[in-house]
Chains A and B, each alone.
Chain A
Amino acid sequence: MSLEELTSFNWSIMTPEFFIVGVAALLTVIDLFMPKKQDRRILGWIGIAAIFAAMVSLVGLLGAAPDSILDDTFRLDSFGKAFKLLLLAGGALVLFLAVSYKADQGMEEYRGEFYYLFLTGLLGGMIMTSSGDLITLFIGLELLSISSYILAGMRKNNLQSNESAMKYVINGSIATAITLFGMSYVYGLTGTTNLLAIAGALQSLADAQHAYLLGLAFLMIFVGLGFKLAAAPFHMWAPDVYQGAPTPVTAFLSVVSKTAGFVIVARILISVFGVAATEGPGSMPILYNMQDYIAVVAGATMIIGNVVALKQSNIKRMFAYSSIAHAGYVLVAFTSLSSNFFYSVWFYLLAYLFMNLGAFAVIQLVEAKTGSTKIADFAGLYRRSPVLAVTMGILLIALAGFPGTAGFIGKLNIFIGAFMVQEPHYVLASVMIATTVVSYFYYFGIMTQMFFRPAADDSKFSKIPVGIVVVLFVTVAASVLFGVFPDIAIDFVNENFNQFSDFLQ
């Protein structure tokens, strides 16, 4: 590739990424030269500014036609834009949590690693949303994963944190290896790593043997990525990691990392296996053939996530299972692939981002106040801080999927998808709804603590950090707003993303 060719690319479509990578690099340098005992929170605020700059530039790109650079390895289509917005919004909120985090082991105020590792992780996710090639997908995945492994182990003198990082890194590497192995099959069969080229090659694939190999490749990729999503039965790492990691990191894992996981799953599954025919041209694509398998995984994920969450006494662990359960709900959309697939996944992840980050903000505050993450420590929160308790109540109701909140509309979209398709998924939808009722138990369990039980210590919550106030305000407002006026979201999608029709072009 000559210099001329390099400069001929329309680099402007990468502006959001440039902001993030530039500031991440800048932060490492600042961290290096900063006096040792100076508060590093300023780095977090710079990070937030960078994310906002990236968001603004991304909004500027919304009207642009789909474009790709670097030999089609990086493409900015409406899918990329829509999900990048989610990642950036989630990233900004997590950073707000991080700058308000009570400084303790490993996250002391004079340690800056968190902020730039966080930005690189976010960058990984952004690359995944925009990749048009197996290689860039994989690089994005690894960038996100490796950053997450370190972030999870951030509290280096904390035994739980160490354990969680260790588990995460080992399990994660195995999963990545399996994904890569699956990808190698695809490469071997088609001779290209470019997703669109692969799709083109696979459409004309006629040999049943090849279809068999592709089926294997599908299963391996799905298993590997199922790990990222924390879908059952590859969810085992999640509870330990969520519990051990510092709370902002847990929030990052449950929202940003999970959204990125769904992004890569959608990219690969739809563009490769959504077109690869099972028996010659015109026959059913492998993805449709594998719907039962995905349905079983989705069902198991919802059941395991919700049922095991019932027995947790640690709130972060409980939210790990809740997060597993939510992954299961989104997977239901993958089994039906109706015409509202992209929209329903996007909306659900949008809703989940706000509800969950808001809940983590409250968890972080309570943890800072009481020094533990037991659910019992939420007892009497209503007396200690009525505003905080009501806020948490609204977020929990949203997570439980009650009408009037974004969580309900998200589920509704997925339901309609499941019933709309040729063979409606009655069983799966029933599982989804039944497990939702199960989830009332644990979400309302927290409410019971907050509103019904007396507090062990009646001291008030004074001086809530400004970062948390921002997060709580944004998340509660968004959870209610998108629940009451969901058309805001769909109008936005229709105006800017043209129903994601350029996904395969």
Chain B
Amino acid sequence: MDLSFVLSLLVFSPLLGIVVLAFMPKTEEKTIKIVGFLATLPALVIAIGLYLHYLAGKKLSDFDVAKDWITFGGLQGAEAGFWKVNYELGVSGFTMLLVVLTAVVATLAAIASIYIKKEWKGYFSLFLLLEIGMLGVFTAENLILFFLFFEITLIPTFFLIGKWGYFEKEKAAYSFLIYNGLGSAVLLIVIMILFAKTGTTNIDMLTQIMSDPNVPMTSGLKLGLLISLLVAFGVKLPIFPLHSWMLRVHVQAPPSIVMIHSGILLKIGAYGLIRFGMGIFPEQFEKLAVLLAILGVVNLLYGAFLAFIQTDFKMVLAYSSISHMGIVLIGLAALNEAGVQGAIFQVVSHGLISALLFFLVGAFYERTDTSLMENLGGMAKGMPVASGFLLAGALASLGLPGMSGFVSEFMAFLGLFEELPWIAAVGTIGIIMTAVYLLRAVLGITYGQAHREFAGLVDLKGVEFVPVVVLIALIVLIGVIPSVLSSPLQATLETIMLGLGG
């Protein structure tokens, strides 16, 4: 059976929702919300289908698509298939996991969009456009297509933050746009140089061509390109000191968008570093390993210490995200199987955990109009269920064994201790700090001194349970049976290890 339409369907299925929304009257709040939610389901179903297909032992390459798309004019060698960019989609074990993560978080974020107060039609149209971008990023098989989807995520996010966010939303939207715009500008330069030097942007072909010693590039240029990639994806990840935009976004954007942003958009940075940085420039990547490890530890500690002194719970989580992305860097810097596996685990696990935590913050904010910890004290009285889930999320985040956070931290550090024990040792301080700031914050909120009346507060109810329960279930599932992640990753890891020379 020809399955090549499946991925296009996956990526562009939210488009159907946009079209339906376009014909709906804009005052129909409830229907619009339902349509918006339903439009995320086809992608979710297909993504889960991919996973089952994989579990059934069939090849994911059945889904590959390649069609002619852009030809560049007047260049020599165009006949041999060079200077062409195809419309190529495909999934491997690694990207399939990210696609599943995207589809899950997008659907749950669509549920979390119940908190959106105005202009639902515009909101869901942009939301679905954003989903197209994210799904495309992880399935694109060449750099130009990747870049296209990468930029498609930029525009809706700008509007979603700028229109539906909180008090300083426009400022946040602009800093998002400019930082990420600069990041993608750098990325585009890298892509174009690679294209001009090799005549292709197909990721697999580039990986092959670049491993050929005769490729017309000096090692200096390669190193330069890798460092540029590090900057480009460092903005997304974000790596200290390129992170300041992300704090604003996390505080100002509406909860559903922060779920997506923290859960998936940040992961594009990690994905890019792994797939392009490590995949295309393995030799140069090894040279930068120590630098990356140091950057990782800096991220980890910087985020953790600053999270400790925040008074706004959103800021705690924002810094915590920075800190947790440090673990991704640490894992990558280890350059061994355990490390890289830990990094990828962390990508998925943090995607789920941060989506959960930001959803809960949104739920609290919805009821109390604040996310300041001193105003939120004693929530366990008014909202016991939500507080319980918050505690569970925090425990997952700080790496309690049996939950996904533990596996990823453990693997990443295991990897780094093997290669750079001293740096790893310094990094472990970050883990302790994580426990300190998260417990301080969460216990402050749930059991701390109560500053308010709880009479009018309603605990989680109805659909609000869906995101929370699903996310917790997935977090525990990964924690208890890590092989749900590790077995699809095996092939990808082997390829990466091969590129790194064993």
Residues of A whose CB lies within 8 Å of any CB of B are 338-344, 347, 382, 397, 402-404, 408-409, 412-413, 415-416, 419-420, 424, 426, 429-430, 433-434, 436-437, 440-441, 444, 447-448, 451-452, 485-487, 490, 493-494, 499-500
Cβ of B182 under 8 Å from chain A:
yes
Known: A420-B196, A429-B192. A409 touches B70 (CB 8 A): yes
The answer to whether B162 touches A342 (Cβ under 8 A) is no
Whether A444 lies near B158 (C-beta < 8 A) is yes
Chain A at the B interface: SS class: helix
Q: How far is the CA of A500 from the CA of B73 in the complex (A)?
A: 11
Q: Does B23 contact A (CB under 8 A)?
A: no
Question: In the complex, which residue of chain B has the Cβ closest to the Cβ of A439?
Answer: B181
Task: Tell me which residues from 158 to 192 in chain B have a Cβ below 8 Å from any Cβ of chain A.
Answer: 158-159, 162-163, 170, 174, 177-178, 181-182, 185-186, 188-189, 192
Contact between chains at B73 and A413 (CB < 8 Å): yes
Q: Report the nearest A residue to B188, measured CB to CB.
A: A433
B247 CB-CB contact with A under 8 Å = no
Contact, CB under 8 Å: A339 / B74: yes
Give bound CA distance, A433 to B74, whole Å: 23
- B189 and A430 contact, CB distance less than 8 A: yes
Give the chain A neighbours of B178 by CB distance below 8 A.
Answer: 437, 440-441
Subset of 29 A-B contacts with CB under 8 Å: A339-B74, A339-B75, A339-B76, A340-B74, A344-B73, A347-B73, A397-B155, A404-B148, A404-B151, A404-B152, A408-B151, A412-B70, A412-B72, A412-B192, A415-B188, A416-B196, A419-B195, A419-B197, A420-B75, A424-B196, A429-B189, A433-B185, A436-B185, A437-B178, A441-B178, A451-B159, A452-B163, A487-B69, A499-B74
16 additional contacts, CB 8 Å, given A487-B68, A499-B73?
A339-B74, A347-B73, A403-B148, A409-B70, A412-B72, A412-B144, A416-B195, A419-B192, A434-B185, A436-B185, A437-B178, A437-B182, A440-B177, A451-B162, A490-B73, A494-B73
Assess the A448–B73 pair: CB atoms within 8 A.
no
Q: A437-B182, A444-B158, A487-B70 are in contact. Are A415 and B75 (CB under 8 A)?
A: no
Report the minimal beta-carbon distance from B202 to chain A, rounded to whole angstroms.
16
- Whether B185 and A342, one on each chain, are in contact in the complex, defined by CB atoms closer than 8 angstroms, is no
Whose C-beta in chain B lies nearest to the C-beta of A433? B185
A424 lies within 8 A of B193 (CB): yes
Cα separation A426 to B152 with both chains bound (whole Å): 26
B147 within 8 A of A: yes
Contact indicator A343/B74 (Cβ below 8 Å):
yes
Q: Which residues of B contact A486 (CB under 8 A)?
A: 70-71
In the complex, what distance in Å separates the CA atom of A382 from the CA atom of B121? 13
Closest B residue, CB atoms, query A494: B73
Interface centre among A408, A409, A433 (most CB of B within 10 A): A433
Q: Which residues of B contact A (CB under 8 A)?
A: 68-76, 83, 122, 144, 147-148, 151-152, 154-155, 158-159, 162-163, 170, 174, 177-178, 181-182, 185-186, 188-189, 192-193, 195-197
Which B residues are CB-close (under 8 A) to A434?
182, 185
| CB within 8 Å for A403 and B151 given contacts A413-B72, A499-B73 | yes
Among B74, B158, B189, contact of A342 (Cβ-Cβ < 8 Å) = B74
Q: Considering the chains assembled together, what is the distance between the CA atoms of A404 and B12 in angstroms?
A: 14
Partner of A440, one of B70, B73, B159, B181: B181
Residues of B within 8 A of A338 (CB): 74-75
Cα-based distance from A424 to B196 in the complex (angstroms):
9
CB-based nearest A residue for B147: A403
Contacts of B177 in A (CB 8 A): 440, 444
Contacts of A340 in B (CB 8 A): 72-75
Chain B residues lying within 8 Å of A343, measured Cβ to Cβ, are: 73-74
Are A419 and B196 also in contact (CB < 8 A) when A413-B72, A433-B185, A444-B174 are? yes
> Which residues of chain A are near B71, meaning CB under 8 Å?
486-487, 490
Residues in B neighbouring A447, C-beta threshold 8 A: 159
User: Which listed residue (B74, B76, B154, B162) contacts A452, Cβ 8 A?
Assistant: B162
In the bound complex, CA of A420 to CA of B195 (Å): 9
Give chain B residues whose Cβ lies under 8 Å from the Cβ of A339.
Answer: 74-76
